[in-house]
Chains A and B, each alone.
Chain A
């Protein structure tokens, strides 16, 4: 299938530290990719670079065939490249319904309307309740975000991203900070993502990675050291070495 998202020879360093070193990859609709790597490998930086939140030193980003390297972060979102954050970034005083409603309105170019309320817009509310329902957040629709559990906030992050109807979705550790016992709901949400959406997920939880991904990319010290099938990743000598260098044991990848 043709690529919706391509990254070519992306480079970035902070001072002398090379954090992204000649990274290239391409994604097709329906892809389920896990991007893994030790702490500080440059995974979040990669997301910041391709989404336009951080300028690369060199390299190119293409979205649906269009080169977007010079287009700002907002323009890339509008072209269908959406991300979530490693630490949730939600509006504490707003409700889940408001978050999703705002995302839907924004996607449709109506977030600048000066009158009315989305609560009275049936088409918007239909989408809001469908999404919240799907992610099990309907009960909390009108609570303030500060009052809901972190695991549910993580689900809301996904709901907001989906409300933007992305073509490419980059999830930065969607289960980070959620107790193991509560990751089931998130995993379900990941399994229910639209089939034609291209998804790249950064994740440390290897169980989650193996159940989700059809392809695994390993980043170490800013370089892609593995790009292939999940079944092969644990056998790869360089991957084992990268993790061994950082962790006392290799059981994380095993």
Chain B
């Protein structure tokens, strides 16, 4: 005789409810956002910039942290998003911030696909070099197409309408800040879903052993290309936010420096976790802002020293190391 057994009970469930962690994540971001708003009301422009760069670093984490593809060209998608949103407003009079954001998302995704097609032909060091070549090409293209982008003068004349026709982008940056927080929260929740999905699991496999994934009948390159599109869309969102909030787009949105800094922030926070990406961005940009004001001559030295300290003593990144520490503590106390 066979008993009808619920298979779920046979295997049980892995520890740690993921839904609760999602809620906690949203709560943590909301608390930080509120704290920033209350503590630094005069510095909302900086905070909004942190939000837009955080989207770039999250996007980078998707391909570097979750899929293992090292790249120094990720600002290409951020910049594409920024220019798309800016051009929509400055040249086409499409000033609805939601449409501008959508334009940024689409442009980032398209740029992501384009770069994936080129980058995924190589592996390792040649791939890294390709990413650098691509960011230079994007940069040069934006520089040359000055009738569209304003070239080295930057793109101006971006005038976003009020959000939902109600909330005007004010001089103090209140609206831009809340708009950015909303974008980050939405991106965070969607990405949590993605990294836990079957696709996210597939990508973790690819990161560890692409040949094994092929032996399971899945195409690593197809999956990576898909992740590039998603990543491009997220970075493009960040770019659009930057264009909408600052109302200008400068060439360095699309620069090697911006790409490299994003990678530094990711490593600082910890790769392969969304919180690591957020923590890295926050710490790097606050540190940069604080130190460059306190000591304008040596701030780069201090940033360098911080980086060396983290890489040597906390190779999993600040968040990654802290998380590992608390997990171990938690297990010891069980």
Contacts and interface: CB of A to CB of B under 8 A. Distances in A.
Contacts of A77: 214-217
B219 interface: yes
A97 B218 contact: no
Nearest to A83: B215
A142 interface: yes
A179 to B, nearest CB: 24
Nearest to A127: B7
Size category of the binding interface on chain B: 20 to 34
B216 A164 contact: yes
A147 to B, nearest CB: 12
B11 A91 contact: no
The majority secondary structure among interface residues of chain B is helix
A82 to B, nearest CB: 7
B197 A114 contact: yes
B215 A91 contact: no
Given A126-B7, A138-B10, A74 B197 contact: no
B212 A102 contact: no
Nearest to B8: A125
Interface string A85-105: 100011111110110011101
B212 A138 contact: no
B193 interface: yes
Contact of B205 (A91, A97, A132): A91
Interface in B6-44: 7-8, 10-15, 18
A90 to B, nearest CB: 7
B217 A114 contact: no
A150 interface: no
A92 B202 contact: no
Contacts of B212: 85, 89-91
Interface string B166-203: 00000000000000000000000000011011110110
Interface in B202-222: 202, 204-205, 208-209, 211-212, 214-219
B216 A113 contact: no
Contact of A114 (B8, B194, B204, B216): B194
A129 B10 contact: yes
B198 A111 contact: yes
The 3 lowest CB-CB distance pairs between A and B, nearest first, are A77-B217, A142-B14, A129-B7
Interface of A: 51, 53, 73-74, 77-78, 82-83, 85, 89-95, 97-98, 101-103, 105-107, 110-119, 122, 125-126, 128-130, 132-133, 138, 141-142, 160, 164
24 contacts: A73-B215, A74-B218, A74-B219, A85-B215, A89-B212, A91-B204, A94-B201, A94-B205, A102-B198, A102-B201, A102-B202, A102-B205, A102-B216, A106-B217, A112-B198, A116-B197, A117-B18, A118-B201, A119-B13, A119-B14, A122-B8, A125-B7, A130-B7, A141-B12
